[in-house]
Amino acid sequence: MSKILNLSVVALASSLMSYGALADGIAAKLQMSQNSYNDAQDVMVTVTLTNEEHVPVKVLKWYTAAEGVEESLFKVSADGEQRKYLGAHYKRQAPTHKDYIKLKAGESVSYDVELSSLYDMSATANYEISYNVSSLQLFSPNPGQAKKLARLGIEGIHSDSASFYLEGREFKGGNNKGKPGTGDGGGTTPDGISFTGRCSNSQQSDILAGLAAAKNMAADANQHLATASSSSVRYSTWFGDYNSSRWNTVSTNFSKIESALNDEPLTFDCSCKKQYFAYVYPTQPYKIYMCSAFWSAPITGTDSKGGTIIHETSHFNVVAGTDDVVYGQSGAQSLADTDPAQAIQNADSHEYFAENTPNLN
Amino acid sequence: MLTLLRTTLLFLIMMLLPVKDTLATMQRPTCQLAANSLGHLTFTLDNQTEQIWSLLTWQTPFDAWFSEFITIRHQQTNQKITYQGALAKRAAINADDYLTLPAHSHHVIQLDLSQVYNLSEGHYDVSLISLRLLPHNADLSQPSQEDDFIFVDCPSTQMNIVK
Ligand SMILES: [Zn+2]
């Protein structure tokens, strides 16, 4: 989520820069590379903290983005209205020495932070952001220094604000507050698609592109099953030898998948950080948890975003109740050869039939 | 005479070789299941061989609860109990997906089945899908195919749930 940047890499228009400094202490500066965003773009901001003291200062890591954003570090407003922080709040022990980073006199450190997953940015508005943290424990594990800073009135780090325009996804339900009760941000699109688990703008747009592809794949699969002859190579490759009852089961599965994708209230969650593509609880339709391999998958084709959504939807017990009998294309092909009854129960077999890559008739 | 002896010896050695090979492949890790009346399942994996083995952790007790690797059936009705955990679609297998089983090692893991199965009082059969193992010389950085694995089955166990 955030990483230390080489400052020389960040060359930016000065009009987009804001600078805030305390008499003595740590100055915070925000930099953004653009001043207008659409709903598919992530909102990246570079935070630079500079020690303006003549002596080294230690800063509590939790209030920097050194290890990702673990606290509300920004004040964000949309057309003047404050936006709630959606990210993590960690419950912690009292800080110890290792929780502080040391900045030498004059030293700077920079972090990149993506904001659309941390603050509700679904509304089209002019946004204003500033770095704004304060804590009695912010500066030093040394009580003497903390007292001294408190006496000087230095209790936090604040930057000047930076502003930008964002064309939001405009979730329904008024005032872009998100679906009630989810508590972790997101919202519901006019098509009834909900997001939870802090999906960033680009993640939401990836999911919607994958969903559109999945709907096309499901329609194409149904079309094939309704019109193809029993000698279909596409069918036999993924589901084995023709048998009318198995063909009917597969047809029923795909018509249920297609109607689930088009008619049911789907929820996509972005909180999973595992190396999976995605996962679901088959007993809990229609929520799909997207994981890290999903974001780098192509939209269509083998193991694509569209295919992953087909795969996951097929797992729901109210849809097709498929299992993961085998994983992967070669496994699914040999399952079709050796055990067609299991193949028609296998989620990847449905996915590969729907993706139809390579293209078979 | 000497030639004949030599030929006989060679013949004997050739006879022994396949036997020795079979013995080697028979030596593989073993596993055990035990369930108590609270629905706690203890899975024990024993590598009593002289070699290191690698266990693919997908669809094993080390993967709870991201795959359905257990089958629980009610003994009287033979009804399968619905799995309520998650099913994950995975990317290609990589080295992190293996658990190393050193020679003469022993691994125990306990699962609370009530986390993902609705278990009422009664008698159940609990079984596990086959474990997939690779022998010590396998290259874990290469994607493995189903054919590469050596499958090890755990004997199923009985469980008597008391509430
Ligand atoms: Zn699956």
**Model pLDDT for residues A274-332, shown as the tens digit of each residue:** 999 999 999 999 999 999 999 999 999 999 999 999 999 999 999 999 999 998 999 99
pLDDT at res. A202: 96
| Contact residues, chain A, for B88 at CB < 8 Å | 274, 276-279, 291, 324
**Residue A51 corresponds to which tokens in the numbers above?**
């020690």
pLDDT at res. A100: 87
Instruction: Decide: B160 and B113 in contact? Cβ < 8 Å.
Output: no
Answer whether A348 sits within 8 Å of B68, measured CB to CB: no
Answer whether B85 sits within 8 Å of A274, measured CB to CB: no
Residue A312's CB is within 10 A of a number of other CB atoms, namely 30
Q: What is the dihedral of CA A77, A80, A84, A87, to 10 degrees?
A: 0
pLDDT band at B153 (very low <50, low <70, confident <90, very high): very high
**Model pLDDT for residues B116-138, shown as the tens digit of each residue:** 999 999 999 999 999 999 987 78
Question: In this predicted structure, which of A69-73, B11-15, B130-134 has the lowest mean pLDDT?
Answer: B11-15
Please indicate whether residue A353 or residue A143 has the higher confidence score (pLDDT). A353
Instruction: Tokens 């909180």: give the residue.
Output: A271
Answer whether A277 sits within 8 Å of B91, measured CB to CB: yes
B89 contacts chain A (CB < 8 A): yes
pLDDT at res. A60: 86
**Model pLDDT for residues A97-117, shown as the tens digit of each residue:** 888 888 898 999 999 999 999
| Contact residues, chain B, for A315 at CB < 8 Å | 87
pLDDT > 70? residue B10 = no
For the entire predicted model, the pTM comes to 0.82
The rounded Å distance from CA A282 to ligand 1 centre is 9
Instruction: Decide: A76 and A24 in contact? Cβ < 8 Å.
Output: no
Q: Using CB atoms, pick whichever of B82, B88, B90 lies closest to residue A283.
A: B82
Instruction: Report the SS3 class of residue A290.
Output: strand
Q: Using CB atoms, pick whichever of A293, A315, A334 lies closest to residue B87.
A: A315
Q: Which CATH architecture has domain A187-355?
A: 3-Layer(aba) Sandwich (3.40)
Instruction: Decide: B131 and B152 in contact? Cβ < 8 Å.
Output: yes
Work out the mean pLDDT of chain B and round it to a whole number: 86
Question: Cα-flanking dihedrals φ and ψ of residue A263, to 5°?
Answer: -115, -15
Q: What one-character-per-residue DSSP string does A79-118 give?
A: TTEE--B-S-----PPP-GGGEEEE-TT-EEEEEEE-TTT
Q: Which residue of B has its CA nearest to A304?
A: B91
Q: Which residue of A has its CA nearest to B85?
A: A281
Answer whether B86 sits within 8 Å of A279, measured CB to CB: yes
ipTM entry: 0.82
The arrangement of strands across the sheet holding B30-35 comes to B30-35, B40-47, B105-112
**Model pLDDT for residues A273-285, shown as the tens digit of each residue:** 999 999 999 999 9
pLDDT at res. A91: 77
CA distance A316 to A321: 5
Q: Which residue of B has its CA nearest to A281?
A: B86
pLDDT at res. B27: 87
**Model pLDDT for residues B96-108, shown as the tens digit of each residue:** 999 999 999 999 9
B151 to chain A, minimum CA–CA distance in Å?
Answer: 14
Q: Which CATH architecture has domain A26-166?
A: Sandwich (2.60)
Beta strands A276-280 and B30-35: pairing type? unpaired
Contact residues of A toward B, CB < 8 A? 274-283, 289, 291, 293, 303, 308, 311-312, 315, 317, 323-324, 326-328, 330-331, 334, 347-348
pLDDT band at A336 (very low <50, low <70, confident <90, very high): very high
| Contact residues, chain B, for A276 at CB < 8 Å | 66, 88-91
pLDDT band at B20 (very low <50, low <70, confident <90, very high): very low
**Residue B151 corresponds to which tokens in the numbers above?**
């499958």
Provide the annotated active-site residues of A: 312
B64 to chain A, minimum CA–CA distance in Å?
Answer: 13
pLDDT at res. A48: 93
pLDDT at res. A324: 95
Each domain of chain A, given as residue ranges in start order, spans: 26-166, 187-355
Asked, colleague to colleague, whether A26-166 and A187-355 share their fold, the answer is no
The arrangement of strands across the sheet holding B70-74 comes to B70-74, B122-128, B157-161
**Model pLDDT for residues A230-239, shown as the tens digit of each residue:** 999 999 999 9
CA A196 from chain center: how many Å? Answer: 9
Answer whether B91 sits within 8 Å of A311, measured CB to CB: no
Answer whether B82 sits within 8 Å of A326, measured CB to CB: no
Answer whether B89 sits within 8 Å of A324, measured CB to CB: yes
Buried/exposed code over B40-56 (b: 16+ C-beta within 10 A; e: otherwise): ebebbbebebebbbbbb
Tell me how many residue pairs between chain A and chain B have CB atoms under 8 A apart: 64
Buried/exposed code over B74-112 (b: 16+ C-beta within 10 A; e: otherwise): beeeeeebebbbbbbbbbebeeebbeebeeeeebeeebe
Radius of gyration of chain A (CA): 25
Please indicate whether residue A157 or residue A270 has the higher confidence score (pLDDT). A270
